[in-house]
Amino acid sequence: MNSFSRRARNAGRVAGFTLIEVLVSIVVLSFGLLGMVALQAASLQANRDARLQSTAVVLARELAEMMRGNKDQALLATNNPYLTGKLSNPLVAPSASYCLSVGSSCNTPEKVAQAELTDWLARVDDALPGASIRICRDAAPFASDGTAQWGCTSSDSSDPILVKIGWSRPSLKSGDTNVWKASDRPSVVLAVTPGSTL
């Protein structure tokens, strides 16, 4: 009887030890699942940022193609309808024109350029959150530390035309709650070669 009660006491201790093992394994599994959720959230955020970056590049290339198609206006040193100051949300063309719509006509290259820019700005405003753009001639689009800058340093008509696009986006750094604003610096800088006058 004495050995039986000793066995019963040992069985109770073993059962308690097994329960602790199960609880520890549940805690370890919970940390693993939390890590997987955090990794998935970071992946979704990076995917969104990559999609917006790709959209901005496509839009910049599209404007570059419009400028190549209307090179007489794109090459103008003064009164160039494509060149803008820095525009921020909402994006509205300096000389808005809607002559590309059905029932109206764009009868001069300048009106075509104004209409293309008006339409393009509306699409940029739709596609990129908190978008800002600047189209200008710039000899030094990057700061000394290599980051893009909004300012345009040139008035020389031989300097390249640059399309600069920025938008609001959250930081991808872990634990950083800051949001990069479009006003901080452009995310996309694309040089445009409108073509020659030949």
Reported as a single tens digit per residue, the pLDDT across 56-99 is 999 999 999 999 988 888 888 888 888 888 888 788 887 778 77
pLDDT in tens, 96-152: 787 776 667 778 888 888 889 999 999 999 999 989 999 998 888 888 888 888 888
- Please state the domain extents for the chain: 2-192
- Facing residues of 169 across strands? 180
How many whole angstroms separate alpha carbon 21 and alpha carbon 124? 57
The pLDDT score that the predictor gives to residue 76 is: 85
CA dihedral (116, 117, 122, 127) positive or negative = positive
Q: Taking Cα atoms as reference points, which of 133, 130, 132, 134 lies closest to residue 168?
A: 130
Strand order in the sheet with 188-192: 87-88, 132-137, 161-166, 188-192
Cα 17 from Cα 197, distance rounded (Å): 86
pLDDT tens for each residue of 159-184? 889 999 999 876 656 555 555 565 68
Q: Contact at 8 Å (CB) between 148 and 185?
A: yes
Report the pLDDT value the prediction gives residue 196, as an integer from 0 to 100. Answer: 59
Q: How far is CA 71 from CA 86, 128, 190, 196, in A?
A: 22, 27, 17, 8
Q: Would you say how long the chain is, in residues?
A: 198
Position 195 scores a pLDDT of: 67
Residue range 15-42, pLDDT digits in tens: 567 788 889 999 999 999 999 999 999 8
* pLDDT at residue number 33: 96
The one-letter amino acid code at 74 reads A
